[in-house]
Structure 1
Amino acid sequence: MSRTPNFTGWRAVILHREDTNTERLERQFGLLGILSTRRWEPMASWADTDLVLVDADQGWDDILPPADGPTGGPSSKPLVALLGSEAPGRIAWAMGRGASAIIAKPVSASAIFPALVMAVSIHRERLAVAEELRYLEERVRLRPLVHAAVEKLRAARGLDEDQAYATLRGLAMQRRLTMEQIAAIVLGGAEPLPEVG
């Protein structure tokens, strides 16, 4: 993350029973301009919130909704675990649900802002990685198109594999399209095969 987020106007849900920890969170959120609601019941969806904090000591699987965002991962919004236990199972539960930061209980006011910045930064990185992975998976899925277009050029123009690939690559660069897109055009017969010069 290149800059620290400004949390003014953000909406946070605190999934925790009311206690001194939640009071401290709510007070600090007010100072940061975060509108917070506290509840101890399952969330129906990730909508209407920008940030979620969950009691990892007593949380259960259904307290958080399934992912509905582009991450394909456990949480669709930045998720912070509130944790007072050192139990490996509770830490694993928080990580499995997608927590990208932990605030230790009892909550210290000075720990809140850094945890929020870290959670948002890691969540954004996860989104970027997930998007890149989807892009690469799509390219791999369409790779047979490139191979088929290379074979079509080889057969039609009497080229070797390297020459056919170079021809296809040159056409893609000329048109400013991906190799997969130009391969689909060549295979679909949308235009005549390029001349080799």
Structure 2
Amino acid sequence: MNGTPNFAGWRVTILAEDDTNTERLNRQLIVLGMRVTRQWKPIIVSELPDLVMVDVDRGWDELIPWSGDKPLRPVVAILGSEAPGRIAWALRQGAGAIIPKPVVASAVFPALVLAVSIHEERIKAAGRIAHLEERLKLRPVVFSAVERLKAERQIDDECAYAILRNCAMRRRLPVEQIAAFFLVGSETLSEVG
């Protein structure tokens, strides 16, 4: 995250029953310019807010419509208990920050910033992993292109890979894409080697 976010206009859903903690939380979120909804029923996916805050002490699995490894929104846990099971549940829901009970105003903004930052980092990490997994799936294509270059040009592995790599760098394309083009015949690699 670059800088501290401005939460003005953000929609936040507090998943909790009415009590003094939710009243304090509601007041502080309004001060930050957020539009607050409080409910004690599951969130509907088509009505996702920008941020979710959940009473972890009483929450249940169907309250939030995602699993913890892929939260669709930043999550802040509101927690009064030290029970390991409740903390584990919060993590499974994707909580990126905790606001302890009793809620104090000074704890709200840092928790929001932390939850949003962690959520953004999770999204970036998932993107990097997906990209690397895709490249890994294409390694056999690169291997086949190297083998074909070796056979056609009577060169070793290192030279064949260097040809692919140099062509990819010159064209600013991934090595895997150049290898695939070469194998299907749309790339001859004639300008190299």
Contact 1:100 1:118 in 2 (8 A): yes
The equivalent of 2:169 in structure 1 is 173
Distance 1:24 1:184 in 2: 59
The equivalent of 2:51 in structure 1 is 51
Instruction: Return 5+ residue gaps in structure 2 as ranges.
Output: none
- Give the letter for the 2:50 counterpart: D
For 1:35-114, list aligned pairs within 5 A.
Answer: 35-45=35-45, 47-66=47-66, 73-114=69-110
Distance 1:188 1:144 in 2: 14
Shift of 1:46: 6.4
Distance 2:146 2:64 in 1: 48
| CA displacement, residues 32-64 of structure 1 (integer Å, 9 cap, x when unaligned) | 000010000011216441100011001000000
Distance 2:102 2:192 in 1: 72
Q: Which runs of 4+ in 1 moved over 3 A?
A: none
TM-score (norm 2): 0.96
Shift of 1:66: 2.1
> What root-mean-square deviation, in Å, do the aligned CA atoms of Structure 1 and Structure 2 show?
1.4
- Give the letter for the 1:65 counterpart: P
- Name the % identity: 58
Cα 1:46–1:20, aligned 2, differ >3 Å: closer, same or farther? Answer: farther
For 1:1-197, list aligned pairs within 5 A.
Answer: 1-45=1-45, 47-66=47-66, 73-197=69-193
Instruction: Return 5+ residue gaps in structure 1 as ranges.
Output: none
Distance 1:14 1:142 in 2: 44
Distance 1:56 1:176 in 2: 48
Distance 2:192 2:11 in 1: 59
Between the two proteins, the alignment pairs up a number of residues equal to 193
- Give the letter for the 2:19 counterpart: D
| CA displacement, residues 81-116 of structure 1 (integer Å, 9 cap, x when unaligned) | 010000000001101111000000110111000100
Distance 2:74 2:91 in 1: 12
TM-score (norm 1): 0.94
